[in-house]
């Protein structure tokens, strides 16, 4: 695909700032020292090593511009868009060359269903592998259906692979409890996932887009804070690291009590920028400093309002005694009455967007077929 570039040149880096946006899914930089060797071998075999090492600041305004004007061309496949007044495009060959990604394998992409147009892909075999079922196993019941395994039932190394998929390969913010099935031809996946997310609230590939903007001369990649996918991040996801191995919660419960006490799950700070962490000396000083405990402050009242103040204090103490943690009740109330309906609404909007995209693609294919038929005549 030939690059489309406008005559209008602009220095986007001078006019736009890099910062964190809750609706931009940045991606994480893989810290190889914290990843088990079997997982690294699979990553290297897939050709993802360079892609997972990318680092860059995020420019949310440019990312939103990219997705708002994105046009997907399934024939190539390729994407054209306008960012900072510059029209440009890229295709699977560009992504393959820029980020050292292979282009062989399954290229179809269906987030909610199975891959149907690949000769080498079989959904039954894929599910057997995920469930650790022998491929030559024969079921007596012909109606038996192998279901997708739950995330928590996976071995630790496969959970780490799933974590990498959700953070970098097909970035999503959902907390699906079941394992999805995704093919591994990365350039095609990236283009189609960008196309699917163009009409959604959360926009993926923040780090990757900064590098694409750099390749097209819109800005330069500068050093920035790094969000690692490391042992700390995996610990925050519930994995327990003992030596060179990781354990899921269910696996960890089967270990002896002494080991569990020593290596129990700890809260992670990996989501915070590295610059926000206090120096070690300051941390030790704060740890050795005793903080005096203040008595609760009671506001003095005038004699005339003494009775009402006493009544309010009695009522407050009664509420505190009857409710151990009122914040939890309030949180549950908000989740039930506000967050849950909003999630359902967002899911409905996503489904509607998917349907509209499919209708648009179907109309485009029909129009192309009609054009080809008219040319033949």
Residue 288 pLDDT greater than 90, yes or no: no
pLDDT value of position 138: 43
Please report, rounded to a whole number, the percentage of residues in the chain having pLDDT higher than 90.
21
Bridge partners of residue 24, in order along the sequence? 203
pLDDT per residue as tens digits for the range 148-167: 567 777 778 878 877 887 78
Tell me: cis bond preceding 77? Omega within 30 of 0 counts.
Answer: yes
Helices (H), the chain: 12-15, 37-46, 60-68, 92-99, 123-130, 156-164, 186-197, 206-215, 231-236, 249-252, 257-262, 280-288, 306-322, 326-334, 340-376
What mean pLDDT, rounded, does the chain reach?
A: 72
Mean pLDDT throughout 3-32?
73
Query: pTM of the entire structure?
Result: 0.53
Of 240-244, 275-279, 295-299, 373-377, least confident by mean pLDDT is 275-279
| Structure tokens belonging to residue 160 | 């780490």
Q: Six-digit token pair at 134?
A: 């022998």
What gap in Å lies between CA 33 and CA 6, rounded to an integer?
44
pLDDT tens sequence across 47-77: 889 999 999 999 999 999 999 999 999 888 8
Higher pLDDT, residue 129 or 220: 220
Choose the weakest-confidence range: 204-213, 239-248, 314-323, 350-359.
314-323
Between 334 and 41, whose confidence is greater?
A: 41
Spatial distance between the Cα atoms of 50 and 44, rounded to a whole number of angstroms: 9
Burial class (CB in 10 A: 0-12, 13-18, 19+), 307: exposed
Distance CA 212, CA 98 (A): 8
pLDDT > 90? residue 126: no
**What is the maximal distance between C-alpha atoms in the chain?**
100
DSSP secondary structure code for residue 72 in this structure: E
pLDDT at site 7: 39
Tell me phi and psi for residue 114, to 5 degrees: -85, 160
* Nearest-angstrom CA–CA distance, 181 and 175: 15
The answer to whether the Cα torsion of 247, 253, 259, 261 is positive or negative is: positive
Please, which pLDDT band fits residue 248 given cuts at 50, 70 and 90? confident
d(CA 181, CA 57) in angstroms, rounded, equals 30
When mean pLDDT is compared across 62-66, 74-78, 306-310, 362-366, the lowest value belongs to 306-310
pLDDT number for residue 81: 97
Closest CA to 36 of 260, 227, 241, 180: 241
With b meaning 16 or more CB within 10 Å and e meaning fewer, what string describes 330-361? eeeeeeeeeeeeeeeeeeeeeeeeeeeeeeee
Percentage of residues in the chain having pLDDT higher than 70: 63
Please report the sign of the dihedral spanned by the C-alpha atoms of residue 355, residue 357, residue 360, residue 365: negative
By mean pLDDT, which of 109-123, 148-162, 258-272 is the weakest?
109-123
Q: How many CB atoms lie within 10 A of CB 264?
A: 9
Q: Give one word for 191, left, alpha or beta, with left for phi > 0 and alpha for psi -120 to 50.
A: alpha
Task: Identify the CA nearest to 167 among candidates 27, 294, 18, 36.
Answer: 27
State residue 301's pLDDT score.
44
CA atoms within 13 A on the CB side of 120: 7
Output the pLDDT for position 192: 86
Q: What would the pLDDT profile of 79-98 be if each residue is shown by its tens digit?
A: 999 999 999 999 999 999 99
Contact 114, 123 (CB under 8 A): yes
The pLDDT of residue 277 is 38
81, containing H or E segment: strand 78-83
């Amino acid at each position: 695909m030939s690059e489309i570039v406008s005559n209008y040149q602009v220095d986007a880096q001078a006019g736009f700032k890099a910062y964190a946006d809750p609706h931009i899914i940045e991606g994480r930089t893989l810290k190889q020292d914290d990843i088990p060797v079997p997982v690294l071998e699979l990553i290297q075999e897939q050709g993802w090593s360079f892609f997972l090492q990318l680092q860059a600041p995020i420019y949310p305004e440019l990312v939103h511009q990219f997705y708002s004007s994105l046009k997907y061309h399934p024939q190539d496949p390729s994407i054209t868009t306008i960012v900072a007044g510059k029209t440009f495009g890229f295709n699977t060959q560009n992504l393959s060359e820029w980020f050292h990604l292979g282009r062989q394998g399954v290229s179809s992409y269906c987030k909610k269903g199975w891959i149907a147009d690949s000769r080498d892909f079989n959904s039954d075999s894929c599910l057997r592998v995920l469930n650790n079922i022998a491929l030559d196993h024969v079921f007596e019941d012909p109606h038996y259906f192998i279901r997708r395994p739950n995330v928590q039932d996976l071995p630790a190394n496969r959970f780490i692979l799933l974590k990498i998929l959700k953070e970098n390969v097909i970035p999503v913010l959902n907390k699906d409890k079941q394992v999805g099935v995704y093919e591994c031809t990365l350039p095609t996946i990236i283009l189609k996932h960008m196309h699917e997310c163009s009409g959604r609230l959360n926009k993926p590939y923040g780090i990757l887009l900064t590098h694409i903007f750099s390749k097209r001369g819109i800005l330069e990649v500068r050093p920035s804070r790094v969000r690692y996918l490391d042992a700390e991040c995996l610990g925050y996801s519930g994995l327990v690291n003992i030596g060179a191995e990781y354990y899921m919660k269910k696996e960890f419960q089967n270990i002896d009590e002494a080991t569990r006490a020593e290596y129990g799950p700890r809260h992670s700070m990996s989501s915070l920028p590295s610059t926000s962490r206090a120096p070690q000396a300051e941390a030790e000083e704060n740890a050795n400093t005793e903080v005096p405990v203040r008595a609760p402050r009671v506001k003095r009242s005038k004699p005339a309002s003494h009775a009402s103040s006493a009544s309010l204090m009695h009522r407050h103490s009664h509420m505190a005694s009857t409710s151990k943690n009122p914040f939890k009740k309030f949180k549950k109330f908000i989740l039930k009455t506000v967050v849950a309906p909003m999630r359902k609404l967002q899911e409905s909007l996503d489904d509607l967007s998917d349907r509209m995209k499919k209708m648009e693609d179907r109309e485009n294919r029909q129009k192309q077929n009609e054009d080809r038929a008219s040319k033949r005549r």
